[in-house]
Amino acid sequence: MFTVAANNDIMAGPIFNNMKASGVKTLGFIGFSDAYGQSWLKSAKAAAAAAGISITDTEAYARSSVDVNGQALHLIAAAPDAILVAAAGSPASLPVISLSQNGYTGHVYLTSGVGANAFLKLGGPALNGALAAVGPSLVFEQLPDSSPSKAPSAAFMPRFDAKFGISARSNFAAQAYDSYSLIVNALPAALAKAKPGTPQFRAVLRDAIENTKNFHAMTGVFSYGPNNHAGLGPSAAVLVKIVNNKWVLVQ
C-alpha cells in the first residue's frame, strides 16, 4: 500500500515533534539488525537533524534475540534524553524491559511495528509511559470527529472486534482492509474501459488507483499520482502513550 521508507518518514513526524516539544536534545537508538531497523535509522537521522537532536548511540539486535541487556547498558551509559526502539512485534518489548530494569528514566519511543493490542501484554508495567506512532484506527474511539479516519474506522473496527476480540485489534487489519477498499473504489473507472481478466483491465485498474485523490480510509487520506505511490500524508500517524496496558491518544 505504501513504501517502507515513506511509512517511516510519516511515522517519524509525531515522534520527533513530541521529542522537540518535550525538550529532547539527545537520542539513543536501538533497532533490528535488518532492513527494518536500518531503514528506521536512516529516517531517524534525518528527522533528528531537522529537529536539532543529536543521536548519541546506536545499537542493534536480531529479531530472534532473547536478551538485549548489553545494548541497553550501552544506551544508558550514553545518557540520552530519549531512546527510540525501532522494532516490531513481540521483540520490540525486549529493549523497553531491559531499559526499565536497568533504571533508565528518560523518554522511550516505539515505531509503528508495535501497533497491535497483543503487544500490550508482552512488556507489562515496563511499557508504561512509552510512546508510539501508530495508525489512527488503533485508537479510533479517541480521535476527534474532525479526523478523516474516524468514520471509516468506526464502520470497520467494531465488526472486527466483535468477530476476533478487541485483543486482536491492530493497524495491520486496517491496512489490509484499506487496500481492498482502494481497489473497490477504483473498479468502476476500470470496468468502464476494459474487461476483467485482461491485460488491459489490469493496466486501467492500476491507472484508476493512481488517480485516486482524497480517499478517506482508516489508515489516513490517500492521494496518489504518477510520482506518489505512497499515497499517504501526516494524517496516517498519531502519537499514543501506553498507560496501564492501554493506548492513550496524545493530544
The residue ranges of every structural domain in the chain are 4-136+234-249
Residue 67 has what pLDDT? 95
Residue 124 has what pLDDT? 85
Mean pLDDT value of segment 138-149? 96
Residue 5 has what pLDDT? 43
Mean pLDDT value of segment 151-166? 96
- DSSP secondary structure string, the chain? ---HHHHHHHHHHHHHHHHHHTT--EEEEEEESSHHHHHHHHHHHHHHHHHT-EEEEEEEE-TT-S--HHHHHHHHHH--SEEEEE--SGGGHHHHHHHHHTT--SEEEE-GGG-BGGGHHHHGGGGTT-EEEE-GGGGGGGS-TT-TTHHHHHHHHHHHHHHH-GGG-BHHHHHHHHHHHHHHHHHHHHHTTS-TTSHHHHHHHHHHHHT--SEE-SS-EE--BTTB-S---GGG-EEEEEETTEEEE--
- Average pLDDT for the chain: 94
Model confidence at 2: pLDDT above 90: no
CB 134 within 8 A of CB 14: no
Q: The domain 4-136+234-249: what is its CATH number? A: 3.40.50.2300
Q: What does the pLDDT look like over 72-118, one tens digit per residue?
A: 999 999 999 999 999 999 999 999 999 999 999 999 999 999 999 99
* Verdict on whether the full-model pTM lies above 0.85: yes
Residue 237 has what pLDDT? 94
Any idea which residue has 473497490 for its cell?
184
Q: Residue 217 region, left (φ>0) first, then alpha (ψ -120 to 50), else beta?
A: beta
Q: How confident is the model at residue 123 (pLDDT cuts 50, 70, 90)?
A: confident
Mean pLDDT value of segment 171-187? 95
Percent of the chain with pLDDT over 90: 90
User: Which own/partner contact pairs does 222-227 have at CB distance under 8 Å and 24+ positions apart?
Assistant: 222/178, 222/182
Q: What does the pLDDT look like over 224-237, one tens digit per residue?
A: 999 888 899 999 99
Residue 8 has what pLDDT? 85
Q: How confident is the model at residue 1 (pLDDT cuts 50, 70, 90)?
A: very low
Model confidence at 6: pLDDT above 60: no
